[in-house]
């Protein structure tokens, strides 16, 4: 009887760096039940043997269409930008709520996803980063933007990260744009030299992405006013465990609204 009240979850990217840690935690949870997983590399196997998980067999599928033949309440999307949007839209159409942990989706992607979620009366919670320190950074940055004139973002990651900027940086730039529009003291058209060194314009914020060996994931927001500056920085370690707590919260909260919400704090305020 206890299992009937559990939220049934499918994890796309369940054998990846973050997805595997989440899958293991769900498997031993008293509130959630992992019923299926998506991993092209391990399709046809059980996730139990891949990740050394005890208990009921968890099938691994190659595609979202196959995975959703197993009834579930929530899809956790933890793959890559190239397939994430297809996974999300397919889940919505099948009546499954979605928690997005994949980075690299654009504002235009989320606009389309939000429209489809509302039309199907489903919920999508897009979380650029599940770490509580990132949730706090976003909140503090929004506060700072109300009072400080200018800001820029530095997005750090390992050399192998293929998307730039990261989902965390995109989300922060979007949220700052909702506070107010900033004006550069020297506009880009009047910038001399190599304009690209000033970073990319993401929703009116200059964003600089570093991709180097030795980094895991870091996010830095720097605010400036005459004679003063403020730096807010999140730094991740090598473990993906800090993301599990936030992901659990997102899974439990995603069904509490209809349409699209962005940011974990949007459901915990």
Residues 181-202 have pLDDT tens digits of: 998 889 898 999 999 999 999 9
Task: Domain 2-130+240-267: give its CATH superfamily.
Answer: NAD(P)-binding Rossmann-like Domain (3.40.50.720)
Q: What is the pLDDT of residue 3?
A: 47
- In Å, what is the CA distance from 237 to each residue of 9, 11, 93, 242? 27, 23, 37, 9
Residue 103 has pLDDT above 90, yes or no: no
Q: What are phi and psi of 150, to 5 degrees?
A: -140, 155
- Give me the mean pLDDT over the 164-176 stretch: 91
Answer whether 2-130+240-267 and 132-235 agree in fold. Answer: no
For CA atoms 120, 121, 125, 126, give the dihedral sign. Answer: positive
Strand, coil or helix: 173 = helix
The chain-wide mean pLDDT, for the chain, equals 92
Q: Which sequence spans correspond to the domains of the chain?
A: 2-130+240-267, 132-235
Distance CA 91, CA 124 (A): 10
Residues near 45 by beta carbon (within 8 Å), at least 6 away in sequence: 60
- Of the chain, the end-to-end C-alpha distance in Å amounts to 32
CATH topology of domain 132-235: Dihydrodipicolinate Reductase; domain 2 (3.30.360)
C-alpha closest to that of 169 among 211, 121, 228: 211
Residues near 134 by beta carbon (within 8 Å), at least 6 away in sequence: 128, 168, 219, 234
Q: What is the pLDDT of residue 2?
A: 44
Q: What is the pLDDT of residue 200?
A: 96
Q: What is the pLDDT of residue 30?
A: 87
Residue 4 has pLDDT above 90, yes or no: no
Indicate the pTM of the whole model: 0.80
């Amino acid at each position: 009887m206890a299992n009937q009240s559990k939220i049934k979850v499918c994890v796309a990217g369940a054998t990846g760096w973050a997805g595997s840690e989440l899958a293991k935690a769900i498997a031993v949870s008293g509130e959630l039940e992992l019923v299926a997983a998506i991993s092209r590399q391990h399709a046809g196997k059980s996730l139990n043997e891949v990740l050394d998980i005890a208990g009921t067999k968890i099938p691994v599928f190659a595609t979202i269409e196959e995975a959703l033949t197993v009834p579930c309440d929530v899809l956790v999307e933890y793959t890559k930008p190239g397939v994430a949007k297809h996974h999300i839209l397919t889940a919505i159409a099948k009546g499954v709520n979605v928690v997005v942990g994949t980075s690299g989706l654009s504002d235009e992607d989320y606009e389309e996803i939000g429209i489809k979620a509302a039309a199907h009366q489903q919920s999508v919670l897009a979380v650029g980063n599940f770490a509580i320190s990132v949730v706090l950074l976003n909140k503090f940055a929004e506060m700072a933007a109300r009072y400080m004139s200018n800001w820029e973002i530095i997005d750090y990651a390992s050399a192998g990260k293929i998307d730039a900027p990261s989902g965390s940086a995109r989300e922060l730039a979007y949220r700052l744009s909702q506070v107010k529009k900033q004006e550069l003291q020297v506009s880009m058209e009047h910038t001399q030299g190599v304009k690209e060194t000033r970073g990319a314009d993401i929703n009116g914020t200059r964003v600089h992405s570093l991709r180097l060996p030795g980094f895991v994931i870091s996010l830095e927001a720097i605010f400036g006013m005459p004679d003063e500056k403020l730096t807010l920085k999140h730094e991740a370690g090598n473990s993906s465990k800090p993301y599990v707590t936030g992901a659990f919260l997102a899974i439990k909260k995603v069904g509490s609204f209809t349409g699209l919400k962005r940011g974990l704090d949007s459901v915990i305020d």
